[in-house]
Amino acid sequence: MKVLVVGGGGREHAIAWKLAQSPAVSEVVCQSGNPGMAQVARCAPEPAGGIEAMADWAQAEGIDLTVVGPEVYLALGIVDAFSRRGLKIVGPTRSAAAIESDKAFAKELMARAKIPTASFVVCSSPAEARAAIRRMGAPVVVKAAGLAAGKGVTVAATRDEAFAAVSRVMEERVFGDAGERVVIEEFLEGEEASVLAFVDGERALPMEAAQDHKTAYDGDRGPNTGGMGAYSPAPVVSPRILQEVQEKILKAAVEAMAREGRPYRGILYAGLMITADGPKVIEFNCRFGDPETQALLPRLKSDLLEPLLATVEGGLDRVRLEWDPRPCVTVVLASEGYPGDYETGYPITGVEEAEAMEDVLVFHAGTRREGGRLLTDGGRVLGVTALGRTVGEAIERAYAAADVIQFQGKHFRRDIGRRALQREKF
């Protein structure tokens, strides 16, 4: 089978790396890709002309299955375009991708399906939003309803902060049309975790839980980023909580989407707050998480192609996932200044040395190769990943490898996995 991976970040490198090991996969092809992916796949440039051109290209190349990383393609309808040509592709249709691309739809779906989530109001005008904030009181959360590259959420400690967020999103339109409506919601307290599942339209097959580290600096301080590190399993998601997530959240969401004429296929990512009242949904995403996928797939012992194919063809009930019990930790090495402005083009050294270390993998995100040299080329540069017998060992190995890799302005958090470590000790 010839498999196409769309996207060129750490998540897509992990997907391509895992698919390249599948006995049924003869070739992995990447659109855009990165130098890390080039070690396990053939990289082709993304054709100009958007998703229709991508579908034409896949057809001409004889691609048997396509896996999409970034949500933007899904929200644009890449699955619809490929399916019209009879091409197999993993992911929801444009209409089902609304579970991520339209937060107002997602919240209303959760309300209709009685899925546990923060209480909320969808508002179409600034006045309405301010009234909702006054009613709910601080702390309160303000979210642009549309896609805002993960930056559309403000957790406001005070009413004034919440008002300011409403002005930015709805009046200044810093996220464009994504700010036409906002969701004002209750602030949830607890520990965050993510559960991703394969979904075939009728049922959800969950993966093991993972935890992301969203803020830029140690101690969960600083601005939100795309993710500075991750680990799996997430001990806060006990077997009992996972059961609850499966029944009350994943199963309920998949059934509701089918009932409402938007059958969901692909990967469903539930971002959760584990509260004193049990798990509640913070958001749904319609794709693999990044960096969570980098910490998840090294633990997947069974084949990845089989569950991915089943999301398209059905039959997930016959698929069993087998996990390495060892914890896995990913530390993201970023460019100084990220998630704000940063410079690129600095030489990177030590990647091969790091990869030679025991149970260490280095996934590329923002890198490029120029004349034999590896250079920085993005905010998140590399995902240094390690397995260990304990979380402590995985953390030690990941940081030992992170220290071996050098580039000017290398920034990373020193506390990835610490919460899991604390739970392991008690």
185 binds, among ligand AMP, ligand GLY, none (CB under 5 to 8 A by kind): ligand AMP
Cβ neighbours of residue 298 closer than 8 Å, sequence gap 6 or more: 14, 324, 328, 361, 385, 387
Helix (H, G, I), strand (E, B) or coil at 206: strand
Query: Contact region for ligand AMP (CB under 6 A) — 52-60, 74-82, 181-189, 229-237?
Result: 181-189
Angle 76-283-218 (CA atoms, 0-180°, nearest 5)? 110
Q: Which is nearer to ligand GLY, 227 or 339 (CB)?
A: 227
Tell me the C-alpha to C-alpha distance, in Å, between residue 120 and each of 132, 284, 300: 9, 15, 36
- Contact between 118 and ligand AMP (CB under 6 A)? yes
DSSP, res 254: H
Q: Which stretch binds ligand AMP (CB under 6 A): 89-97, 166-174, 183-191, 359-367?
A: 183-191
Nearer to ligand GLY, 262 or 380 (CB): 380
Site string for ligand AMP, 338-377 (x = CB under 6 A): ----------------------------------------
What gap in Å lies between CA 155 and CA 151, rounded to an integer?
A: 11
Report the partner that residue 64 touches, choosing among ligand AMP, ligand GLY, none (CB closer than 5 to 8 A by kind): none
Shortest spacing between CB 11 and ligand GLY, in angstroms: 7
Residue 282 in contact with ligand AMP, rule: CB under 6 A: yes
- Return the one option of ligand GLY, ligand AMP, none that residue 118 interacts with (CB less than 5 to 8 A, by type): ligand AMP
- Nearest-CB residue for ligand GLY: 289
Q: Tokens 């997430």, residue?
A: 234
Is the CB of residue 106 less than 8 Å from the CB of residue 100? Answer: yes
Binds ligand GLY (CB under 6 A): choice among 34, 285, 335, 367: 285
Binding site partner of 289, from ligand GLY, ligand AMP, none, Cβ cut-off 5-8 A by kind: ligand GLY
User: In whole angstroms, how close is the CB of 186 to ligand AMP at the nearest point?
Assistant: 6
| Partner in contact with 282, chosen from ligand GLY, ligand AMP, none, beta carbon below 5 to 8 Å by kind | ligand AMP
191 binds ligand AMP (CB under 6 A): no
All residues at 6 or more sequence positions from 242 whose CB lies less than 8 Å from its CB, including other chains = 195, 206, 209
Q: Kindly give the interhelix angle for 103-112 and 252-259, rounded to the nearest 10 degrees.
A: 100
- In the complex with ligand AMP, the residue whose CB is nearer, 141 or 207, is 141
74: CB partners within 8 A, 6+ apart: 68, 91, 92, 94, 97, 100, 101, 266, 286, 287
State yes or no: residue 212 binds ligand GLY (CB under 6 A). yes
For residue 161, the tally of other CB atoms under 10 A from its CB is: 16
Give the pairing of strands 2-6 and 65-68. Answer: parallel
The whole-angstrom separation of Cα 404 and Cα 119 is 46
> Between 187 and 323, whose beta carbon lies closer to ligand AMP?
187
Query: Is the Cβ of residue 64 or residue 292 nearer to ligand GLY in the bound state?
Result: 292
For residues 196 and 289, is the Cβ–Cβ distance under 8 A?
yes
Q: Which residues bind ligand GLY (CB under 6 A)?
A: 150, 212, 227, 285, 289-290, 292
Per CB under 6 A, residues contacting ligand AMP are 118, 141, 150, 153, 155, 185-188, 192, 214, 224, 271, 282-283
